[in-house]
Structure 1
Amino acid sequence: MSHAPSTAHLPHVVIVGGGFAGINAARALRKAPVRVTLIDRRVYNTFQPLLYQVATGGLNPGDVTHFLRSLRVSQPNLDVVHEHLTAIDTDARALRLLDGREISYDYLLIANGVTTAYHGTPGAKENSFAVYSRSQAIAIRDTLFTRLDRAAAAPDRSKGLSVVVIGGGPTGVEMAGALAELRDQGLEPAYPELEGEAFRITLVQRSEILKPFLPSLRTYAAAQLKKRHVELRLGAGVEEVCRDSVRLSDGTVLPSDLTIWATGVAPHEEVRGWSLPLADDSRILVGQDLQVVGLPGVFAAGDVARTPQDFPQLAQPAIQGGEHVARQILRLLGGEATEPFVYYDKGQLAIIGRRSAVGEVPGVANLPVLHRLGILKRVPLLRKVIPLTGRLAWSAWLFVHITSLLGPRNKLQVMVGLAARYGMRLHRTPVPIVGDVPAIRPPKPPRPDAP
C-alpha cells in the first residue's frame, strides 16, 4: 500500500465500500492511530437519494457523485483502492482483489451496499430500468428523451408516451412526482406536437404507497400524485414485464414505452462467496455491536448488514452504523469491550413535487437526557412522531439532501439545479438536462470491396 513507512506499524483498518457506511467510518477514523484503506469498485461515491433527479433531467450526474480520492486531502491516514473484492480469508485476515492483489487487515468493515432486487419477476431485469446507480439514472434520462422525440414524430401523436413506475416506496413516489413535474413544467411547451394525454405516468404498487409512513401522510401523498395526474394502480402486483407493457396480477395489461423498476434491493451475488454467515436474504449476520457473527474484528454496516433489530435499509442507519464501527475499533484498540449499536431515528422524508413533500420527524422522546430526568412520563405527548406535509416538509427535504452531500462543490451545484427545477420564477421554464441521446446519422455506404 502507499502508506508511508513510518506508519506501516499502525493497525490496518480496511473498509470495503465507499457508500454512506464506509465513508462515515473512514472519516470517523481521521485522527485515529491507524492506517485506513477504502476499497470500492468505482472511483466515486454516489448520493443515491438524488439519482431520480438525474434520471428526470433535474441534475447532472456529476452533481451527485464525489471523487473518493478527494477524501485524502483532509485525511492523510487514508488510502483509496479502485478495485473489486473477490474473496475474504478470515483465517489469514486478508482480502483478495480482482487484479490478484492481497491486502491484509487487522480490522475489516464490509459496507459494499446492495443492488436492485427483481424478486424473480419474469422480464423485469431485461425490460425495465432500475434507478440504483449513476449509469442506470443516465440510461433512464436518455431513453426518456429519445422516446419522447420518437413519439412526437409518430404518425399517431395522440398515442404519446406511457411511463410505468413499479414500486410505491420513496424512490417510486419521488420518481413519479419528478416525471410529472418534468411533464407539466417543461415538456408541454417543448412538445406541442403531442396531443391530449400524451405523456402518461402510472405508479404500480402491490399494497399502499409509502408503507413506512403514517397513514395520514400516505393519503396526502396519494392525493398530491393524483393532483399531478399520476395514475395510481394499487392492490395488484406485477406478474411480468414485457418489452412494451406490464402485466399485473389482476389480469390488467398496462401499455408501457418506458418501465422503471423501484421495488427494493438485495445484496450483490458475490457476497455469497465470501464465507461469511448470512441471513435468509443473503445479508451478512451481525451482532448487537455490528461485528459479524463469530468473526471478532470483522464488522458489517449499512444495507448489506442484517442486524438483530433489522434496521431499515436507509441512509441514516448506514451513516450511524459506519460511525459506530469506527468507535468500536477504537475501543478494541484501547483494550475495551465493544458496545451495542444504538440507532437514533431522525425520521424520513419523501418529496412529491414543488412545495409538496411528506415527512416524519421524531419528537423529543429519543433524547437520552429526557429519559434520565423522567420528563417523558409526565408529558406523554412528547413521545409522538411529528408529521410534516406541504411546504414545511419540502423545505426540510431540500435542507437535508443538500447538506448531506459530500463536498462544497456538490452542495452548490445541487442547490442551483434544484432551484432551477423548483424555483419561484424558473419552474415554468423548460430546463431538463440531457446528455448521451444518440445522434441521428445516415447509414454508412457499403464498402467498395463488400460482396
Structure 2
Amino acid sequence: MPSTDRPPHIVIVGGGFAGLWATRALARDPVRITLIDRGNHHLFQPLLYQVATAGLSAPDIAAPLRHILRGQRNVEVRLAEVRGIDTRAKTLALADGAALAYDTLVLASGATHAYFGNDHWAAHAPGLKTLDDALLLRRKLLLAFERAEAETDPDRRAAWLSFAVVGGGPTGVELAGTLAEIARHTLRSEFRNIDPAEARVRLVEAGPRVLSSFPDDLSDKARRQLQKLGVEVLTGTPVADIDADGYRLGDQRVAAKTVVWAAGVAASRLGALLDAPRDRAGRVQVEPDLRVPGQPDIFVAGDLAAVHSNGRQVPGVAPAAKQMGRHVAASIRARLRGQATTPFVYRDFGNLATIGRMAAVVHFGRLKLSGALAWWFWLIAHVFFLIGFRNRVVVLLNWILAYWSYQRAARIIFGPPLDADLPARPDAAGQDASRIG
C-alpha cells in the first residue's frame, strides 16, 4: 500500500456478488474505490432463468449499481470495459482508450459460457449468464410456440415443439422443469392449431446423473421429479453436435429448433491478461489469501478465482463469491494496518435447486430435503437474498400469482416484427394471413 497522504485507490472490476460485496465491506475504510462494470446493474444470477422463462422481468432481479451504492461516499461507479492490465505501471487500459491507475486491483469479472472447444455451437445453443442472454432466450422460447402454431408441416411443427437443455446442473434442471410447466400449464388453451402440452422437453447430461454436486439420493429424487413434470432425462449422453436444425447424440439425430446450453462455464477473459497460472477453465490459481502469485497488489475473487479451502475446490456459487468479496476487503484492511493477511476459508451453506411447482431439493450439512418442503425452503432463501426491498416484494407477489394461476407475468416478445420471423400460413380463404392488417 502507498505511504502518501492520499487515500489508497482500490479498483474493483466486476459488480457481481464478489465485487459488490468487497466494495460494500470497505465502506468505512479510508480508501478511494472505483467499481468498474460493463453493465450498470448488479444481477441476482440464481434467478436469471426466471427471466428467461417469462416468470419475472429483468428489473425484478437486478438493481442499478449507482443506486445500491448511492450512500457510500468513498466509491465511484464507472461504466467501462477493461481491455488490458499493466502490472508494472499499475494501470488498466479501458475500451474507450482511457487509462486508470490503481494501488490495489480486485478482479471479480465472473465467468462466461464454455462450449468445450465447440464455440460454433453458441449461435444455435445460447447460454444464460446475463440479462441480455435471458431476454434473447425468452424470445427464442416463446417464438418456438408461435412458429409451431403457424407451421402446417407435421415434421417441422414437431421440430419447433422440441426443446433440449444441455447440462444437468442447477441451471439446466431449473430451466427444463420450468419449460415443461410452461408447455403443460401456462400455455394451455391459448393456441388453436397446436397443443403446447405435446412439446418435448429433454434434459441432456453427459455425466451419470443430474445435480452431480448433490448427494446421490437427492440427485435421484430430482430426476424423478423432472420426469413427473414430463421432462425426458438423458444421462451419460454427451452431445456430439448442435446446429440450427437440431442436435446429435452419438449416431442419433434429433430435430429441434430450440437448444439451450447449461453445460459448462469458463472464466472471464481478464484472467488471461495476468502473468499467473490458470486452470483448465481459465480461472486464476490464486494464493490462499486470494492474491495473485507474485502480484501482492492484485486480488482475484468469485468465479474467476481457483482456490481450495478445507481440502476442496471452492465452487462457483453466489455464497462463495460473497465470502470471497468480504475476505478480499478484510485483506485490504489488514494491509492498511500493516497486518498480515489470512487464508480464505469457505463456509459451505449447502446447495439448493428448484425443479418445478412444489418440487425442489435442498442439501445443507446433514439436512436433506426434497419435494414441497424443499421448494418452500428454496423460495424463502432466494427472496431473502435478493437485493432491495422492492425486488423482494415484487418477486414474492409474482410467485404467489404464478402459483395460483400457472401464469407467467413477463411473456412479452421483444425484437423484430413477428411476421419477419414466422412462416406464412394461408388462412381459410387462401390468402396470406401475414398480410392482413
TM-score (norm 2): 0.90
Partner of 1:102: 99
Equivalent residues of 2:359, 2:371 under 8 A apart: yes
Which residue, 340, 343, 360 being the options, matches 2:346? Answer: 343
Deviation for aligned residue 1:268:
2.7
Deviation for aligned residue 1:442:
8.4
Partner of 1:311: 314
Partner of 2:375: 394
Structure-2 change in CA distance of 1:35 and 1:184 (3 Å) = same
Partner of 1:404: 385
Partner of 1:414: 395
Deviation for aligned residue 1:439:
2.4
* Matched residue type, 1:72: L
Deviation for aligned residue 1:319:
0.6
Does 2:362 correspond to 1:359? yes
Equivalent residues of 2:383, 2:392 under 8 A apart: yes
Q: SS of 1:247's equivalent?
A: strand
Q: SS of 2:299's equivalent?
A: strand
Q: CA RMSD in A?
A: 2.0
Question: In structure 2, how many angstroms separate the alpha carbons of the residues matched to 1:8 and 1:134?
Answer: 41
Partner of 1:373: none
Question: In structure 2, how many angstroms separate the alpha carbons of the residues matched to 1:415 and 1:52?
Answer: 16
Partner of 2:424: none
Question: In structure 2, how many angstroms separate the alpha carbons of the residues matched to 1:347 and 1:442?
Answer: 46
User: Could you list the per-position Cα deviations for residues 311-343 of structure 1 after superposition, in whole angstroms to 9, with x for gaps in the alignment?
Assistant: 111111101000000011101101100001111
Question: In structure 2, how many angstroms separate the alpha carbons of the residues matched to 1:176 and 1:441?
Answer: 28
Partner of 2:186: 186
Q: After the TM superposition, which parts of structure 1 deviate over 3 Å for at least 4 consecutive aligned residues? A: 274-277, 429-432, 440-443
| Residue ranges of structure 2 left out of the alignment (5+ in a row) | 422-437
Structure-2 change in CA distance of 1:442 and 1:361 (3 Å) = closer
Does 2:323 correspond to 1:320? yes
Question: In structure 2, how many angstroms separate the alpha carbons of the residues matched to 1:431 and 1:136?
Answer: 19
* Matched residue type, 1:94: T
Partner of 2:163: 163
User: Could you list the per-position Cα deviations for residues 223-242 of structure 1 after superposition, in whole angstroms to 9, with x for gaps in the alignment?
Assistant: 11111110111111011002
Does 2:27 correspond to 1:46? no
* Matched residue type, 2:382: H
- Give the 5 Å matches for 1:17-166: 17-121=14-118, 123-156=120-153, 159=158, 161-166=161-166
Give the paired residue count: 411
Q: SS of 1:296's equivalent?
A: strand
Q: Which stretch shows the higher mean deviation, 302-311 or 118-127?
A: 118-127
User: Could you list the per-position Cα deviations for residues 240-291 of structure 1 after superposition, in whole angstroms to 9, with x for gaps in the alignment?
Assistant: 0021111013x22222110000012102334323434433432112111111
Q: SS of 1:130's equivalent?
A: coil
Question: In structure 1, how many angstroms separate the alpha carbons of the residues matched to 2:278 and 2:177?
Answer: 36
- Give the 5 Å matches for 1:121-270: 121=118, 123-156=120-153, 159=158, 161-195=161-195, 198-207=198-207, 208-249=209-250, 251-270=251-270
User: Could you list the per-position Cα deviations for residues 76-123 of structure 1 after superposition, in whole angstroms to 9, with x for gaps in the alignment?
Assistant: 111001001111122222212111222222211110001001112374
Does 2:405 correspond to 1:426? yes
Structure-2 change in CA distance of 1:74 and 1:431 (3 Å) = closer
* Matched residue type, 1:412: V
Question: In structure 1, how many angstroms separate the alpha carbons of the residues matched to 2:252 and 2:102?
Answer: 54
Deviation for aligned residue 1:430:
6.2
| Residue ranges of structure 1 left out of the alignment (5+ in a row) | 1-6, 363-384, 444-451
Deviation for aligned residue 1:432:
5.0
Question: In structure 1, how many angstroms separate the alpha carbons of the residues matched to 2:391 and 2:333?
Answer: 31
Structure-2 change in CA distance of 1:441 and 1:257 (3 Å) = closer
Question: In structure 1, how many angstroms separate the alpha carbons of the residues matched to 2:135 and 2:341?
Answer: 42
Q: SS of 1:66's equivalent?
A: strand
Question: In structure 2, how many angstroms separate the alpha carbons of the residues matched to 1:122 and 1:83?
Answer: 26
Equivalent residues of 2:187, 2:196 under 8 A apart: no
Q: Which stretch shows the higher mean deviation, 347-356 or 63-72?
A: 63-72
Equivalent residues of 1:121, 1:241 under 8 A apart: no
Question: In structure 1, how many angstroms separate the alpha carbons of the residues matched to 2:69 and 2:237?
Answer: 49
* Matched residue type, 1:360: H
Structure-2 change in CA distance of 1:54 and 1:8 (3 Å) = farther
Question: In structure 1, how many angstroms separate the alpha carbons of the residues matched to 2:401 and 2:44?
Answer: 19
Question: In structure 2, how many angstroms separate the alpha carbons of the residues matched to 1:439 and 1:150?
Answer: 13
* Matched residue type, 1:417: N
Equivalent residues of 2:398, 2:409 under 8 A apart: no
User: Could you list the per-position Cα deviations for residues 376-414 of structure 1 after superposition, in whole angstroms to 9, with x for gaps in the alignment?
Assistant: xxxxxxxxx211111221111111111212122222222
Q: SS of 2:69's equivalent?
A: helix
Equivalent residues of 1:186, 1:431 under 8 A apart: no
Equivalent residues of 1:124, 1:261 under 8 A apart: no
* Matched residue type, 2:393: L
Equivalent residues of 2:109, 2:270 under 8 A apart: no
Structure-2 change in CA distance of 1:263 and 1:194 (3 Å) = same
Partner of 2:417: 439
Q: Which stretch shows the higher mean deviation, 284-293 or 433-442?
A: 433-442
Question: In structure 1, how many angstroms separate the alpha carbons of the residues matched to 2:420 and 2:109?
Answer: 44
Equivalent residues of 2:142, 2:413 under 8 A apart: no
Q: SS of 1:297's equivalent?
A: strand
Deviation for aligned residue 1:440:
3.9
Deviation for aligned residue 1:10:
1.0
